[in-house]
Amino acid sequence: MKTKPIQKMVHESYWTHDTNCAGTTLTVLSTLHDLPLDTQVMHASIGMHGAGRFRAQCGLVEGTLMFLGMLGTAQGKTPEAITENCFQFAAGFTERFGSLSCSVLRPGGFTPDDAPHQCEGLTVEAITFASAFIEGLE
């Protein structure tokens, strides 16, 4: 897995389209794993960056979990198998990044003084991790 294309896609999603972390995760994973996204899925991801900036579950996790459900369904997996894949991803993400919570991963929260797209580096790392996880499932 090459990080450079992920870095470029994340940068474009954030800076050109101003997409949040959940939508960016969905967009990049769908491109990397050749699974088109429905417009409604992107609409559903609008408030999923820490539950609308509430700093709850991280949008990088939420986007990946949504993608695992979409991909698993497209591959004919059972709901039980998809749920298990989501559990394993959450466990691995927690081990790698220390938490599923935006309040831990982004301890300063969201303030008007934040630099734009301050989670860009973390997003590249998280999507690289998620894509490798998905490749391990296929």
At 47-94, the pLDDT tens digits run 887 676 777 788 999 999 999 999 999 999 999 999 999 999 999 999
At 95-120, the pLDDT tens digits run 999 999 988 887 676 777 777 788 89
Provide the residue ranges of all domains of the chain, joining segments of one domain with +. Answer: 3-110+118-137
Q: HSE of 127 in the Cβ direction (CA atoms, 13 Å)?
A: 33
Q: What is the pLDDT of residue 49?
A: 74
The answer to whether 29 and 134 are in contact (CB under 8 A) is yes
**Whose CA is closest to 61, among 137, 119, 115, 110?**
119
* pLDDT at residue 15 greater than cutoff 70: yes
Q: Across 4-8, 39-43, 53-57, 81-85, which has the greatest mean pLDDT? A: 81-85
* pLDDT at residue 26 greater than cutoff 60: yes
The answer to whether 3 and 19 are in contact (CB under 8 A) is no
